Structure 1
Amino acid sequence: MAELSSILNGHQQRAGATPLPSVLIATRHGESAANVEFQLAEATGALTVPITCRDADIALSMHGQAQAQALGRWWAALPPGDRPRAVWCSPYVRTAETARIALAQAAGLGAVPVGLTVRYDERLRDRELGILEMLTAAAIEKRYPEEAARRRKMGELYYRPPGGESWADVALRVRDCLRDLCVEEAGQPVLLVAHDNVVLMVRYVLDRLSEEQLLALDAVRNCSVGVWRAGYDRLVPELWNETGHLDT
């Protein structure tokens, strides 16, 4: 795990130390209605999915709600000192629902401090896909073959669809968000609820992965958890893409 001093621009908690949360937990939202539809479309080769709302308004599936409840039970089972005392969340519906359900589940088990509220931060929103939004892989190849070819040439980290963002663009706003989070939540455990690419970029930034290392990672699973613990001037990884709590 690389040091965070360059990420945090020299903010100091005490002489020679960088402010850090005691524990940072990053999770992807539970399964969404769009996740279900895209899985079906990819399996059948369909070019369209029956999603008409904005990406920001896509809700959790019933299974996704159950996953968020399982996340809340996992939260409640943490050692008291590791239980989140702050929640930073993407403002999209599926992430907000995940945070709300997990928080309510943990609170019902007596594991949430009085007054804890969810902080929504636009920098944690999902990657914007521009003209490719809500298109299946088959549809992109058929309707925008030149973009499919450019994507293959540029690679996932640097390919930016027209009107959208590259992974590197998302990493820039994740760095900025982490800078604020580390200063404002120094010394306490924090839960970050976001999207697959955002959580992936958290790992990329904190671990200073190379492009090759990043692309070798598996997709971030719904309601999986990544955990980092504070050391001296750094957050040390303990878990990544863990989903064992979803089987209980």
Structure 2
Amino acid sequence: MELTNHRSTQSSAQGGHATRAATLPLSLTVVRHGQSTANAAFEAAEAVGALDVGIGCRDADLRLTALGRSQAEALGRWIASRGGGPVPQSLWVSPYLRAQETAEAVLAAFDDAGLPLPDVRTDERLRDRELGVLEMLTSAAIELHHPGEAARRRLLGELRWRPPGGESCADVALRLRSLLRDLYEEEPDRRVLLVAHDAVVLMLRHIIDGLDEAELIEVAGTGAVGNTSVTRWSRSGEGRLQLDCYATTPHLE
């Protein structure tokens, strides 16, 4: 079940000039959801080169594991304790169930701490990258059943490669540019938290930090965006969003 929107914030995307003129949020924080059933299944399958992860539901319907719920609860307590600075005033969430469950754990921690709940919005543009016909396939299964796509992926690179029926990372970036235009217009001078997915975190780095393809590959090569990891930008004196931290997990230490 999707989180209830506490504030009506729907509006059409504005042009580039309106985006540049808008006042930025005071801070923008994005966290990846807690460990999902697919995260755990893929980790086990990839470790032994298995072809099947045993997942039969839609990607959008994947739930958190027990560990994922524990991670989300720890994240909520850390944010509520102001571990990352002042608490967010707005919460934008992917519609996918694992992100919704993570956001619910954060809101529960706010409530337990007696903090005012942030305004909540579920936004489709924060969904995970869609992999089309390759959805829920392990690397070994892709190599075996779709060798042409595996070769095309290596040739084009992750930013440009679009699986049949799915999205390239550049496609994800395109919808996030639209989301950021709305967010900048609707959240001036506010602290905003996004709960989403690893592809969303990387593409926000691409957009906000102006990373080119080579720089993006370098960032991705430093390691995966961990479950409930925190990436945050703060508004600088020059009126830009400046990266404070990337994929950190102080609440899990």
TM-score (norm 1): 0.91
SS at match of 2:76: helix
The 5 A counterparts of 1:1-248 are 9-11=16-18, 18-78=22-82, 82-111=86-115, 113-114=116-117, 116-217=118-219, 218-231=223-236, 232-247=238-253
| Identity in percent | 53
The one-character-per-residue Cα deviations of 1:36-62 (angstroms, maximum 9, x if unpaired) are 000000001110011111000000000
The letter of the residue matching 2:17 is G
Which residue of 2 is the match for residue 4 of structure 1?
none
SS at match of 1:157: coil
The letter of the residue matching 2:87 is R
The one-character-per-residue Cα deviations of 1:94-114 (angstroms, maximum 9, x if unpaired) are 000000111111221123x25
8 Å CA contact 2:46–2:139 kept in 1: the answer is yes
**Alignment gaps of 5+ in structure 2:** 1-13
The letter of the residue matching 1:211 is E
The letter of the residue matching 1:83 is V
8 Å CA contact 2:78–2:84 kept in 1: the answer is no
CA 1:151 to 1:109, structure 2 compared with 1: closer, same or farther past 3 Å?
A: same
The one-character-per-residue Cα deviations of 1:111-130 (angstroms, maximum 9, x if unpaired) are 3x25x342100000010001
8 Å CA contact 1:11–1:19 kept in 2: the answer is no
**Alignment gaps of 5+ in structure 1:** 1-6
SS at match of 2:54: coil
Q: State how far apart, in whole Å, the 2-side matches of 1:213 and 1:225 are.
A: 20
Q: State how far apart, in whole Å, the 2-side matches of 1:99 and 1:246 are.
A: 17
- Number of matched residues? 236
8 Å CA contact 1:91–1:120 kept in 2: the answer is yes
Q: State how far apart, in whole Å, the 1-side matches of 2:53 and 2:83 are.
A: 42
8 Å CA contact 1:23–1:82 kept in 2: the answer is no
The letter of the residue matching 2:227 is N
- Deviating runs (4+, > 3 A) in structure 1? none
The one-character-per-residue Cα deviations of 1:175-205 (angstroms, maximum 9, x if unpaired) are 1101111111111101001000011111111
The RMSD of aligned alpha carbons is 1.8
The letter of the residue matching 2:150 is A
Q: Judge which range, 193-202 or 225-234, deviates more.
A: 225-234
SS at match of 1:11: helix
The letter of the residue matching 2:26 is S
8 Å CA contact 1:76–1:110 kept in 2: the answer is no
The letter of the residue matching 1:193 is V
8 Å CA contact 1:171–1:202 kept in 2: the answer is yes
SS at match of 1:42: helix
Q: State how far apart, in whole Å, the 2-side matches of 1:176 and 1:17 are.
A: 15
The letter of the residue matching 1:76 is A
CA 1:143 to 1:211, structure 2 compared with 1: closer, same or farther past 3 Å?
A: same
CA 1:184 to 1:81, structure 2 compared with 1: closer, same or farther past 3 Å?
A: farther
8 Å CA contact 2:134–2:142 kept in 1: the answer is yes
